[in-house]
Amino acid sequence: MAKNLKKFVNPKFTRTADLDLLRRLLERHQADLQGLDIALFDRDPDEARRTIQNFFAGPEDNYTEGLVADLHRIAELGNANGLQLLLEQARRLGVQITPANDGDDTAEATQDPKHVAFRMFLDQPAVFNAAADMLSYTTLSSFTEFAGVEEGIEAQIDDGTRQAFQRDAERLFEADLRGRYCRVGRYDDDDEINVVVTHGAQLTTTEIIEAGADRVISFREAEHAVLSYAATTGRLKVGGFAKARRGELAEIFAGSMLKRPRFFAAPDAQNLYTLVPVERAGFGFTFNHAFDPDIRRVQIVEVQADRLGTDPRSGETRTFWSHVIRDGRDNALARLGEGTRGIVFGADWRLNHIVIRVHIDVGGSKPARVTVKLKPPDTAMFKRHRFEGRIMALLRRNGLVNDRLPGKAAVAAE
């Protein structure tokens, strides 16, 4: 486990952090601290801060595994993005975050995102855990997507369906030697329902040195699987879990929260994206974004073209060789056409994937940039915490999304 504690617990922090919060955090691990007496908080405040600063500047072996984990979790939410997540989840749970505003610099400093995260970690663990769950969702870029056999099927998430999901998910995690622990959080985001499942990683056993002696410890780090479902489109995104098991997690969601077993099991449930329009247009293809005035530019920064053929031994279609072209300044697809001869899409050549960079006007001097990797039939990889709707509209308007007919999908499922 990487520590990197000094970046978080720096002199500026120890000079301004609420001493009561520091004391409470350290008291959680008092029995295992090396070289720090909690009684220091009963002394002069300035001396206490200097002692704490020296402690964190000292050997990292003085920190317990639990303290390392706590500080990592606080640090992950101790920034502007984390503060917004904390505020949003506090509003959702009806918890008021009262700003300190006593007119002095120290009180003002407690509104710093690190300090808010620190206080919420200790005083409002439900809010902190909910924000940490949402952070797991917003930092994921790779999802496996499934299209359901119908649109408009609403998820039913209550105590009963949550427990049913948890029971089946626990068995799945246990089968993968990840233990049985499972915590399910549900969060709404416009027309999507996000389910964040906290579970154990595979067991780690390691030898450590503590108090002048060596010993062996075993632990599981916490990991998060994320499911995001939109009833309007019938689509489910699953991320943060082994790809080979995502279909099973989707089935658990369908059976427990949709009451529709095999809802995502149609043969074309993952035939979601296509590059056929690009192949038809050839090396001159460009994205049409005139429908969205906020999109300034769409670059094609990488393409991979595969030469396909039939293996004479097995009779199966396989890739003989590939060309990968990258161009961060102009158009990688055009560069592919200029630099190669004999490539004709639709015959023996296929596009494996493209990577695009979308420049979006956000009102500043520089546009925001979103990088998207599109790899049919089931992968559109990009960070979805901003502009997801706009990116999906761009792909759909350019014919790169396979919109399925619900009736046809239902027949396929049968």
What percent of the chain lies above the pLDDT cut of 90?
Answer: 34
For residue 215, the model assigns a pLDDT of: 82
| Bridge-based pairing state of the strands 235-239 and 295-310 | unpaired
- How large is the average pLDDT for residues 325-331? 85
* Residue 412 falls inside a structural domain: no
For residue 332, the model assigns a pLDDT of: 94
Give the pLDDT confidence of 48-104 residue by residue, as tens digits.
888 877 776 666 667 666 676 677 778 778 888 788 889 988 988 889 887 655 555
* Residue 407 falls inside a structural domain: no
Q: What is the mean pLDDT of the chain?
A: 83
| Same domain assignment for residues 252 and 299 | no
Alpha carbon distance 395, 357 (integer Å): 12
Give 349 or 209, the one with higher predicted confidence.
Answer: 349
Q: Which of 136, 170, 194 is the last residue of a domain?
A: 136
Alpha carbon distance 162, 317 (integer Å): 44
For residue 283, the model assigns a pLDDT of: 93
> Which residue range is the domain that position 63 belongs to?
5-136
For residue 26, the model assigns a pLDDT of: 86
300 alpha-carbon distance from chain centroid: 24
| Same domain assignment for residues 249 and 303 | no
| Same domain assignment for residues 12 and 126 | yes
Give the DSSP letter of residue 384: T
For residue 139, the model assigns a pLDDT of: 62
| Same domain assignment for residues 281 and 187 | no
* Residue 84 falls inside a structural domain: yes
Give the pLDDT confidence of 248-286 residue by residue, as tens digits.
999 999 999 999 999 999 988 999 999 999 999 999 999
| Same domain assignment for residues 302 and 376 | yes
| Same domain assignment for residues 17 and 128 | yes
| Same domain assignment for residues 323 and 247 | no
**Two tokens at 268?**
């074309």
Q: Which of 136, 160, 186 is the last residue of a domain?
A: 136
* Residue 95 falls inside a structural domain: yes
| Same domain assignment for residues 122 and 218 | no
395 pLDDT higher than 70 = yes
For residue 410, the model assigns a pLDDT of: 44
* Residue 223 falls inside a structural domain: yes
Residue 295 one-letter amino acid: I
* Residue 270 falls inside a structural domain: no
Contact residues for 159 (Cβ-Cβ < 8 A; gap 6+): none
For residue 264, the model assigns a pLDDT of: 94
Burial class (CB in 10 A: 0-12, 13-18, 19+), 235: buried
In this predicted structure, which of 24-33, 106-115, 331-340 has the lowest mean pLDDT? 106-115
Give the pLDDT confidence of 280-295 residue by residue, as tens digits.
999 999 999 999 999 9
Burial class (CB in 10 A: 0-12, 13-18, 19+), 211: exposed
| Same domain assignment for residues 365 and 324 | yes
What percent of the chain lies above the pLDDT cut of 70?
Answer: 85
| Same domain assignment for residues 129 and 152 | no
Number of domains in the chain: 3
Give the pLDDT confidence of 177-227 residue by residue, as tens digits.
888 888 888 877 778 888 889 888 888 888 877 667 888 888 788 888 889
For residue 141, the model assigns a pLDDT of: 59
Give 350 or 310, the one with higher predicted confidence.
Answer: 350
- How far CA 272 is from CA of 115, 376, 381, in Å, comes to 43, 7, 13
| Same domain assignment for residues 70 and 115 | yes
**Two tokens at 260?**
């529709």
Alpha carbon distance 387, 270 (integer Å): 23
* Residue 262 falls inside a structural domain: no
Give the pLDDT confidence of 375-393 residue by residue, as tens digits.
999 889 887 767 888 999 9
| Same domain assignment for residues 38 and 121 | yes
* Residue 103 falls inside a structural domain: yes
Q: Which of 200, 226, 257 is the last residue of a domain?
A: 257
243 pLDDT higher than 90 = no
For residue 19, the model assigns a pLDDT of: 85
